[in-house]
Amino acid sequence: MDRLTSMELFKRIVERRSFSAAAAEMGLSRPVATTTIKALETRLGVRLLQRSTRHVAPTPEGATYYERCVRILNDIEDADQGVGGVVRGLLKIDVPGTLAREILVPRLPDFLARHPGLAIQVGEGERFVDLVREGFDCVVRAGDLAENGMVFRRLGFFREITCAAPAYLARHGIPATPDDLDGHEMIAFVSSRTQQPLPLEFHRDGRVVEVVLPARVMVMSADVNAAAVRAGLGLMQAPRHRFAEDLASGALIEVLADYAPAPTPLSIVYPSSRQLSPRVRVFIDWAVEVISPYLEAQ
């Protein structure tokens, strides 16, 4: 196996923490991957990986070699794709479901027409992902983020609203201030990170007030959340663009507009250990273009 392919295999083993996963991605058998790494270690005269039956991790020398491999392989990719300005390869991204289905995917034909050498794998989720281990080039995430070793490119902010169905408000009344929420219920969105319901947030007198209301319905999906509020099951907070048609038709009614939650930031996230690849660069430029009309500056 040539030197660059060995470096790519080693890089993927470190990132996936698995010989089998890295070998499968490169179309190799596990024995071939094992033999290749042993030969690489012999040539370099150092042990690169600590292996056990359940865990693979780089040694200190392996960690140093990994960083150098990443830089070299990224430079080669940049050099190859810089010729003629053609971006090639597979772009693997993960995007919140509603954003993927309603904004990005309907516009993908234009993106792929601009970059005929690209293929794209779109995951749909809002959970925390290990970008390096799971092989994502980048993810789009809403909210305040604090993952170590990641680079964040802020796209803008979604305006948030509090809303409910007319049938729900007919039963519980229309609150004029957060003080009027006694007797109301919320649709509780359960955080994938903490497994706890997120409180409702209201801006009042220059500060954020968090309110937790009784909840008979708890959800972990934006689509189920939307279905629940339309069914009259409680108050909900969400980006306004998501329910523009419901608000226009009267299927949902915004309440407590003077106490609206703070806008939610939207960011593209990619590993800091990786130089921004041409694939990710063109995707970010395109994502900014198509998502910007739905966002506010802050």
Please tell me the least confidently modeled range out of 156-170, 181-195, 225-239, 273-287: 273-287
Note the Cα 2 to chain centre separation in Å: 35
Say if residue 226 is in the same domain as residue 167. yes
* pLDDT cut 90: percent of the chain above it: 46
Please tell me the least confidently modeled range out of 23-37, 88-102, 135-149, 281-295: 135-149
Instruction: Say if CB 175 and CB 256 are below 8 A apart.
Output: yes
Using alpha carbons, select from 28, 34, 40, 31 the residue that is nearest to residue 2. 40
Instruction: Say if CB 161 and CB 238 are below 8 A apart.
Output: yes
Say if residue 150 is in the same domain as residue 269. yes
Domain boundary (34, 55, 82) is at 82
Q: Would you give the DSSP letter of residue 297? A: -
Please tell me the least confidently modeled range out of 63-67, 126-130, 186-190, 274-278: 126-130
| Structural domain total, the chain | 3
Identify the CATH number of the domain in which residue 25 sits: 1.10.10.10
Identify the CATH number of the domain in which residue 288 sits: 3.40.190.10
Which residue range is the domain that position 19 belongs to?
A: 3-82
Q: What are phi and psi of 120, to 5 degrees?
A: -135, 135
Cβ atoms within 10 Å, residue 48: 20
What's the rounded Cα separation, in Å, for the pair 260 and 32?
58
Whole-number mean pLDDT of the chain? 87
Confidence of residue 47 (pLDDT cuts 50, 70, 90): very high
* The pLDDT of residue 129: 66
Please tell me the least confidently modeled range out of 21-25, 139-143, 181-185: 139-143
Highest mean pLDDT out of 163-167, 279-283, 289-293? 163-167
Residue bearing the bigger pLDDT, 54 or 48: 48
Domain boundary (61, 82, 103) is at 82
* The pLDDT of residue 98: 82
Say if residue 274 is in the same domain as residue 142. yes
Say if residue 152 is in the same domain as residue 172. no
Domain boundary (31, 66, 82) is at 82
- Tokens matching residue 36: 């290749």
Instruction: Find the helix or strand (DSSP H, E) in which 120 lies.
Output: strand 118-124
